[in-house]
Chain A
């Protein structure tokens, strides 16, 4: 298996080439652009036999993608931040029309104020659209998860689109060695897309369907069932991927040193690497802490969370986004999942790392200290600059 030094964005592009994607429709936006640039290179040099559709906006990119996927093509697109916000209407369309598009998203904060740095608001704001959502920790995980996502999304019992999210710059523009599987191995894992054609050439049918109150709920319930089915399909898919490549990313909620832990921190994306290291440091000091990575946000891993919570009394959730007027989405959903469990640990929401604010080991360690303190706050924004100390910017 050749090892290449790749950015997260290039890992997306190589996965697309290995998946033998047939149609790509995309519009550039920082920090995603180099994904689709690299794919354009692959297409123009004949390394990928795909139709590359240049469009005038992200909205059109997703429309072209869902039409092609509706006809049975294997389709990929990529976007970020304001771009995925512009896609919002068609994200619902893609899921409702059961088109298994795979999309890479560079997680970047949304305006105002302008930022191009890491933040999960852009994709968290899409959690109700019916897309499967993965948040990657490393460039290797990006490549592996994109390949897995095609299998999961295209499974006849799922048929839902999926987004593979990577933290802006921390992954998109940072390079590391990545095992790139051989084409022959990927072909075995991911054969051509099964014929689950929503539309068929030569038959009178179109996507712009209308439905009255007598059956609308039933179509929506089909999507709900498909999302539930995705849990089992994902488990089987990852098991087969692990058998073929030797790499297993641990499912929807991989845990680390959580057995006998007094407190567990849940993170998404690149903060996970730091949290893992901090756990090791604190364990060496005799502190009983662990961490879990919320790798898949949709479908939400309720069962895995309840298993984790069964033996833990305190859970801290790091939200790299905020739902104004409530709390962070991950903490909300963790709390909701645990309300119905037999053991209900205390849940604390840490709103942190917004707009690229660094989550270094010291700041992650301080989250553990708050979590282990006498009465941790329900929601807090640790490290917020109050202006009471003088801070020099720029």
Chain B
């Protein structure tokens, strides 16, 4: 069955009832950041500069790229002091 939504089914005002956390927003990335953990100093600069919410942390405190949100802008790689992040072209 196809559900057809129209004006009658809309809420009384355009509000979001889900957090953007539940919506993946980065399917169009061209380059992805790859972190070399042997060079990473856990300084968190990448997390601080990421304009989205695309840097998380593993249980040892190392940054992890959340690819569902990373658009591949490369700011983390540019700002990383020990140059531990490399931008690799997506296949």
Contacts and interface: CB of A to CB of B under 8 A. Distances in A.
Contacts of B19: 204, 206
B5 A198 contact: no
Contacts of B16: 205-210
B13 interface: yes
Contacts of A205: 15-17
Nearest to A203: B17
B1 interface: no
Contacts of B7: 218, 221-222
Contacts of B14: 96-97, 209, 211, 219
B10 A215 contact: yes
User: What 4 pairs between A and B have smallest CB-CB spacing?
Assistant: A98-B13, A209-B16, A218-B7, A198-B13
Interface string B5-45: 11100101111111100000000000000000000000000
Contact of A198 (B6, B10, B12, B18): B12
A196 interface: yes
A199 B13 CA distance: 9
B10 A219 contact: yes
Nearest to B6: A218
Interface of A is mostly: loop
A28 B16 CA distance: 33
A229 B38 CA distance: 66
A196 to B, nearest CB: 7
Given A204-B19, A205-B16, A206-B19, 7 more contacts: A70-B15, A97-B15, A214-B5, A215-B5, A218-B6, A219-B14, A222-B7
Contacts of B15: 70, 97, 198-199, 205-207, 209
B12 A196 contact: yes
Nearest to B11: A198
How large, as a class, is the contact surface on chain A? 20 to 34
Contacts of B13: 70, 97-99, 159, 198
Contacts of B10: 215, 218-219, 222
A17 to B, nearest CB: 28
A211 B16 CA distance: 9
B12 A98 contact: yes
Which of the listed residues B7, B10, B12, B14 has the most CB atoms from chain A within 10 Å of its own CB? B14
A205 B14 CA distance: 10
Interface in A205-236: 205-211, 214-215, 218-219, 221-222
Nearest to A208: B16
Contacts of A199: 15
A203 B16 CA distance: 11
A222 B7 CA distance: 7
Nearest to A217: B7
A286 to B, nearest CB: 55
A159 B14 CA distance: 13
Nearest to B7: A218
A330 B84 CA distance: 64
A219 B17 CA distance: 16
B27 to A, nearest CB: 15
A207 B12 CA distance: 12
Interface string B39-68: 000000000000000000000000000000
